[in-house]
Structure 1
Amino acid sequence: MTPRLVATDLDGTLVGRDRTVSPRTVEVLHRLDAAGIVIVLVTGRPIRWLHPVYDQLTVRPIAICANGAATYHPGTDSIVHSTPIEPSTLAEACERLRAKIPGVVFAVERDGGRQMRHEVEFPVGPWEVNHGSVGPVSYAELLTRPAAKLLVRAGVQPADEFTALVGECLDGLAEATNSSSSGMVEVSAVGVTKGTALARVAREHAVSALEVIAFGDMPNDLAMLTWAGRGVAMANGHPAVRAAAHDVTSATNEDDGVAVYLETHCFPPVASP
């Protein structure tokens, strides 16, 4: 199958542990673009974390970020579609979680993740300390504006079990998923997933699900992989993702798994005459 659209997650999929995209992967994406195949980056990352990836590529595809809550156009530096959690829903979600989970703390990604605001107790990565777009606010202030994502922590937690608990608390109100083993749960507006966002982008390009190959490695990729005509899990992927996918790469993200797969399935070698 030669796809008309290739969608790929970033961390654990296209990007290595050192946060780089390999030259081989850069070249394969360039070949896809030259062949007229639509490329879509589909990530849990906020917008402020996208530019280090774009800086490594020779193409600048659109990005579905914040697990589907915002679609970003790098050429115009604009959000072309947004489905945030509204303040009233955000407040109800946080109150439900505070009532059920001891020690729970929150952060929110705003404006597609151009800004992050967090409770003082919420642990923030060292790369974001003293970052102008990231800062602490009171619990009340956290709930005053729409949020692309609500981030939930409660100390050290087993990722899948904690995600299930948060999802149970927010059933019918919001979507809960996770993209790491750190015990942080990522919450989006009800119905917002990587899959629903990718389906919308595909429709805008007159591309059907059967014409899409999608790559991912973690539970937040499941909706995208099961929607696509060919959902491909990474060899290093979460067991549930590998089990649900149509195919699994032969190599991990550290060994150019996406590039190897695309070279094999989209650019097969030409037979000698």
Structure 2
Amino acid sequence: MEATPRLVASDIDGTLLRDDRTLSAHTAAVLARLSARGTPVVLVTGRPIRWLKLVYDQLAEPLPAVCANGAVVYDPVNDEVLRADPLAPELLAEVARRLRAEVPGVSFAVEIVDSRQMRHEVHYPLRWDADEAAIRAVETPEELHSLPAVKLLARTEGQQDPDRFTELVAGALAGLAEATHSSHSGLVEISAAGVTKAAGLAWYCHRIGVAASQVLAFGDMPNDVPLLTWAGRGVAVANAHPAVLAIADEVTSANSADGVATYLEKVFGAD
């Protein structure tokens, strides 16, 4: 990438946000300046729509988002889903069947209604989202698979290494669905075949007339690899997963040190 980027895309957790899930005033100000000068900034995240408010509350204005690892493209100004690529119920059932056979003790949750709601098996271990009203347990596998889902989540208490667990899941689902991860807790995120952060952002960029070569993207985890390899320039934060550091065009400072904002000021200027 030689010219100034026409669009900036950034992952949220571990990249734009600090480890306590807060956005620094410095980073918020840099993003606001970019938007004011007419450079689109897009959040590209594994998060569901219902978790975006925690970020929007820290920004000068809400930014468009590619959510659920590319399965949902969201316009926050109009609270409108522009595009969704869910797993169909019959595909969900087949994915779950294969994984139950391959991974004893696996448990599932699904992101439904364009990721505004979540349903989970009773024994699925919830984390920091446990108290949300949009989340509830289901009694049967049939209920879990009854609606299209933009993401299927798989956990197992017996699998501690997230990279190895993701490889196991991806092998079982080869050709059927996409498997990736963005946490250190052994959570695997499953999307429909071909659905990635890169695919979701590519659709959005085509819509507004921006080429991949004109995109500057930031990320930190394996679910960001397609995004960073697709973009004209892919930048990893210093705290990134080894797989991301290996493919990035450049590395900026860590999320805890405003790495994204620092790099953007280098490219666009500090004023």
2 CA distance for matches of 1:187 and 1:110? Answer: 13
Measured on the aligned residues, the alpha-carbon RMSD in Å equals 1.1
Q: 1:74 aligns with which of 70, 73, 76?
A: 76
2 CA distance for matches of 1:127 and 1:106? Answer: 15
Gaps of 5+ in 2: none
TM superposition shift of 1:19: 1.2
Does the 8 Å CA contact 1:106/1:151 hold for their aligned counterparts?
Answer: yes
Superposition TM-score, scaled by structure 1 size? 0.96
Q: 2:126 aligns with which of 120, 124, 140?
A: 124
1 CA distance for matches of 2:82 and 2:230? Answer: 22
Q: Do residues 164 (structure 1) and 156 (structure 2) align?
A: no
Aligned to 1:91: 93
**1:66-124 Cα shifts (integer Å, max 9, x gaps):** 00000111111121100000001100000000111110110001122210000000011
Aligned length: 267
User: Which amino acid letter does the alignment assign opposite residue 194 of structure 1?
Assistant: K
Superposition TM-score, scaled by structure 2 size? 0.96
Aligned to 2:259: 257
TM superposition shift of 1:157: 2.2
Q: 2:225 aligns with which of 222, 225, 240?
A: 222
Q: Which runs of 4+ in 1 moved over 3 A?
A: none
Q: Do residues 135 (structure 1) and 136 (structure 2) align?
A: yes
**Secondary structure at the counterpart of residue 112 of structure 1:** helix
2 CA distance for matches of 1:266 and 1:232? Answer: 15
2 CA distance for matches of 1:48 and 1:140? Answer: 24
TM superposition shift of 1:127: 3.9
Identity across aligned pairs (percent)? 54
2 CA distance for matches of 1:89 and 1:133? Answer: 23
User: Which amino acid letter does the alignment assign opposite residue 213 of structure 2?
Assistant: L
Aligned to 2:209: 206
Does the 8 Å CA contact 1:68/1:197 hold for their aligned counterparts?
Answer: yes
Q: 2:114 aligns with which of 112, 115, 138?
A: 112
Does the 8 Å CA contact 1:33/1:59 hold for their aligned counterparts?
Answer: no
Q: Do residues 175 (structure 1) and 178 (structure 2) align?
A: yes
Gaps of 5+ in 1: none
TM superposition shift of 1:35: 1.2
2 CA distance for matches of 1:231 and 1:268? Answer: 21
1 CA distance for matches of 2:262 and 2:130? Answer: 33
Aligned to 2:25: 23
User: Which amino acid letter does the alignment assign opposite residue 108 of structure 1?
Assistant: V
2 CA distance for matches of 1:108 and 1:268? Answer: 42
2 CA distance for matches of 1:220 and 1:27? Answer: 27
TM superposition shift of 1:152: 0.5
Aligned to 2:34: 32
TM superposition shift of 1:236: 0.4
User: Which amino acid letter does the alignment assign opposite residue 5 of structure 2?
Assistant: P
